[in-house]
Amino acid sequence: MYDEQVVKEARAIHAELYSTEPTTVSYAPGRIEVLGNHTDYNAGTTFSCAINFGHCFCISKSNKPGIRVTAGDIRETFEFSATCDEKIDSYWANYVKGNFYYLATEHGIVIDGIDCTFLGSIPMGAGLSSSAALEVATTYAALQYAGKTIGEDISKNEIGILAQKCENVFAGCSCGLLDQFSSIFGEHHGLIHSDFRTLETYTVKLPDDAMFLMINPHIKHKLADSPYNARRQSCEKAATELNELVDYEVAALRDIQFEDFQALKDKIDPEAAQRATHVVWEIHRVEEGVKLLAEGNIEEFGQFMFDSHETSRTAFENSIPGLDIVVAAAKEAGALGARLSGGGWGGSVCALVKSAEADRISEEIISACKTKGVEPTIEKIVPSQGAQVIL
């Protein structure tokens, strides 16, 4: 299952621009982060899912050297070589270039002489990881074009790590692996539990009568320009200081026991402790949340989502008023849970609802938000299958 419309359009645009049908086509979805905010780079755990919107990436052989890539929506093209590490002055091209670069330099898969087109249905800047989807779609298509088999020649974990490196180095955001893993390991109606210490993933079924709403208040954000990297440093500082206070190793915040953190947080740098409070609670909520979901208790699971937003707002300070207004409106309208999804400082709110109530709750959220000067748009999100090679 994938967004067929976007694949059809991408293929048509490619044929029109390059006067030939693509021979290789891939698709990778965006994601929502359900629980486990800013836990990935702390070696923690998360709950996320791939969504029913994604990017399609098409390739055909060219008789010219180099790699040409066109963003299908704006018809903008950049040309580069897979082995050149120079960054491109563009908001999208580095997400593509970086993947070709690391395939060449770290995996010996050097691709040259191709024309590419990509098109996505994920709104940019909405906090749905359009960049990770683009990275993963690029790598899946590149590997297929090079005749490599995913899972044999290169593992899915390696693809995630490669795409993350592209984001870290080429796009300048020190993000974790959540977005890439969600895009790769998605399953229909499954929530992905990822462990960023062991890099193991498994899915837990979302009850059939539940779904998510992605509520976008349209406040644009770019994580590389946000305090994201500074928050990461605060978390690392907290882990280093806690490591001195316990008789086991705290290599990352994941390692500090929940009770020890409560007892010791006043003994470390106050700002680092405040940021770490959110992360330590989030890891705890993910682990308790797994049990609740397995029992089908989505009501309590939803409450964890509200709790998560609260510590985002007060401790991690990665919310903004527009997102708080949406979360409050969702709660008032009867959503089971709602929280900011992803990095924060913009993006979208993810709300858990009973499917039968999705339309009513959406309408009520929109009208409640309007009275506060926020005009969100809402998409229904069904947890979806992860990245795939289509052709």
Binding of ligand GLA by 178 (CB under 6 A): yes
Q: DSSP readout, 87-129?
A: PPSSSSHHHHHHHHHHHHHHH-----SEEEEEEE-SPTTSSS-
User: Is 179 a known active-site residue?
Assistant: yes
Binding of ligand GLA by 37 (CB under 6 A): yes
CA distance 96 to 13: 18
Binding of ligand GLA by 175 (CB under 6 A): yes
Binding of ligand GLA by 98 (CB under 6 A): no
Comparing CA positions, the residue from 228, 262, 225 lying closest to residue 245 is: 262
Binding of ligand GLA by 135 (CB under 6 A): no
Structure-token pair, residue 127: 């906090």
What amino acid is encoded at 288 in this protein? Answer: E
Cα torsion at 50, 172, 169, 141 (round to 10°)? 30
What amino acid is encoded at 172 in this protein? Answer: G
For 95, other C-beta atoms within 10 Å of its C-beta total 26
Binding of ligand GLA by 241 (CB under 6 A): no
Question: For ligand GLA, which stretch binds (CB under 6 A), given 31-39, 95-103, 241-249, 325-333?
Answer: 31-39
Binding of ligand GLA by 342 (CB under 6 A): yes
**In this chain, which of 120, 343, 346, 376 binds ligand GLA, going by CB under 6 A?**
343
The contact mask relative to ligand GLA for 294-333 (x = CB under 6 A, - = no) is ----------------------------------------
Binding of ligand GLA by 33 (CB under 6 A): yes
Structure-token pair, residue 277: 């409070």
Looking at the Cβ atoms of 180 and 385, the one nearer to ligand GLA is 180
Looking at the Cβ atoms of 37 and 385, the one nearer to ligand GLA is 37
Point out the catalytic residue in the list 3, 115, 179, 255. Answer: 179
What amino acid is encoded at 187 in this protein? Answer: E
Min dist. Cβ of residue 326 to ligand GLA (A)? 18
CA distance 251 to 230: 18
Q: Do the strands 45-61 and 377-381 form a parallel or antiparallel pair, or are they unpaired?
A: unpaired
Question: For ligand GLA, which stretch binds (CB under 6 A), given 77-85, 174-182, 285-293, 360-368?
Answer: 174-182
Structure-token pair, residue 242: 């806690």
Binding of ligand GLA by 235 (CB under 6 A): no
CB 388 within 8 A of CB 349: no
Question: For ligand GLA, which stretch binds (CB under 6 A), given 61-69, 84-92, 176-184, 202-210?
Answer: 176-184
Min dist. Cβ of residue 141 to ligand GLA (A)? 22
Structure-token pair, residue 125: 């800047």
Give me the residues that bind ligand GLA (CB under 6 A), please: 33, 37-38, 40-41, 129, 175-176, 178-179, 223, 342-343
The residues assigned a catalytic role are: 179
